[in-house]
Amino acid sequence: MSRLPRRTWSLFSTTALALIGSISIILVFALTAVTWFVMVPMAKRSADDLAALIVLSAQTWTELPKEAQPLLAAELKNQHGLIIQEIPALNRLHSTNLPYVRFLHDAVVRRFNQCPPGTIDPQTGECIYMGSLPQGAGYWIEIPIADDVLKFEFSPSRVGYKIPFTLGVILVGGILLTLLLGLWLARRLTRPVSRLAEQVSLGLPDAPLPLTGPKETRVLIEAVNRRSAEVKRLVENRTVLLAGISHDLRTPLTRLSLSLALAQDALEAELHDQMQADVGQMNQLIGEVLSIARGVNQAPLESVDAHTWLAHCVASAARRGITVQLIEPNTQARFALAPPTAQRILDNLIDNA
């Protein structure tokens, strides 16, 4: 059973995932720390201040005569956004899980001295209840005090700290900033390497590549430039060597050709023609090798369609009386080459096969 090839990630993807993952972990840790050590204590302090106002208002309400209670209710509504009213009995239901409301409930319970007889819930052991008003109009809290049951209502704007909403804003903003920052840093770090890989895939550049990016990337580009210069010198030395070899070989071949011409009468015609053809073939081979060497070094690269170019080579071989079979590719492919030089190389391979 053959194993499936593992997926290869690009340098940009790997760097981006590493940066985004690292920054996300830091963001989660920072959010947790800010929530636990800053936002929660501030929310509890705000809830404790509101609880003190509610308990004080309830105690003042029971001490005032009936005719003065409407004045206190008007002042609480205008100055503090609290609506106070007497109700017949406790609702005995908790209908909200908002953290700030829970903090407010606990703060009121701490400040409330004791529950009047008959007001304690046997299941929860509490006599103070909180809930939400219909259609999100606000929140209510019921407090039994003396012989009365007071109900306080306040709007959502009176809630000083909305922890879930604040956390949501920070989390969404942090995620967006993390993505943008991670992608920007990954692109900045990998762009020089990606550009280097793209240029090298098209062949070693003639001119040195610019040294950009961080120190490690500059070292890599400098190494590629150095190897490119060395390869260029090797190609130039090879061209000079082939030119010298061709000159040295053609001199005795020329003398041999002249000798064959002078000895034409002394040799059989068939033998003379065969030897002359061999000399001509050797001259042709030397010329083609030298032409290829010069062409590889000087010919510009072009982007060509693989199937079209190979079909042209097959047709060229057919004109020389050679049958070559071309297998149709499943996908289109393009590559960079010097068509005349590559044509001569492929023709030589086919002719000598």
Q: What is the residue whose two structure tokens read 């149709």? A: 328
Q: Are residues 225 and 319 in the same domain?
A: no
Mean pLDDT of 268-294: 73
Q: How confident is the model at residue 297 (pLDDT cuts 50, 70, 90)?
A: low
Decide which of 270 and 4 is more confident.
270
Report whether pLDDT(161) > 60. Answer: no
6 within some domain: no
Q: What is the residue whose two structure tokens read 């210069």? A: 229
Q: What is the residue whose two structure tokens read 């020089």? A: 192
Task: Kindly give, in sequence order, each residue whose CB lies less than 8 Å from that of residue 253, ignoring residues fewer than 6 positions away.
Answer: 279, 282, 283
At 2 the pLDDT is 47
Distance CA 256, CA 279 (A): 8
Q: How confident is the model at residue 180 (pLDDT cuts 50, 70, 90)?
A: confident
At 112 the pLDDT is 78
- The pair phi, psi for residue 55, each rounded to 5°, is -65, -45
Minimum mean pLDDT range among 94-103, 129-138, 209-218, 287-296:
287-296
Q: What percent of the chain has pLDDT over 90?
A: 1
Distance of CA 239 to the CA centre of its chain: 46
- The pair phi, psi for residue 112, each rounded to 5°, is -80, 125
Q: Are 16 and 186 in contact (CB under 8 A)?
A: yes
Q: Are residues 157 and 253 in the same domain?
A: no
Helix (H) or strand (E) holding 274: helix 269-298
- Listed residue (190, 213, 216, 192) closest to 17, CA to CA: 190
Q: Are residues 59 and 110 in the same domain?
A: yes
**Cα distances (angstroms) measured from residue 235 to each of 47, 240, 292:** 82, 9, 12
126 within some domain: no
Distance CA 149, CA 92 (A): 12
Q: Are residues 52 and 159 in the same domain?
A: yes
At 206 the pLDDT is 65
Mean pLDDT of 274-303: 70
Minimum mean pLDDT range among 16-30, 103-117, 157-171, 314-328:
157-171
Domain span at residue 218 reads: 202-298
Q: Are residues 156 and 31 in the same domain?
A: yes
What's the chain's average pLDDT?
77
Q: Is the dihedral of CA 240, 245, 246, 247 positive or negative?
A: positive
3 within some domain: no
Distance CA 178, CA 351 (A): 61
Report whether pLDDT(4) > 60. Answer: no
Task: Kindly give, in sequence order, each residue whose CB lies less than 8 Å from that of residue 326, ignoring residues fewer than 6 positions away.
Answer: 307, 310, 311, 314
At 205 the pLDDT is 61
Mean pLDDT of 38-63: 86
Q: How many domains does the chain have?
A: 3
Amino acid at the residue 136: G
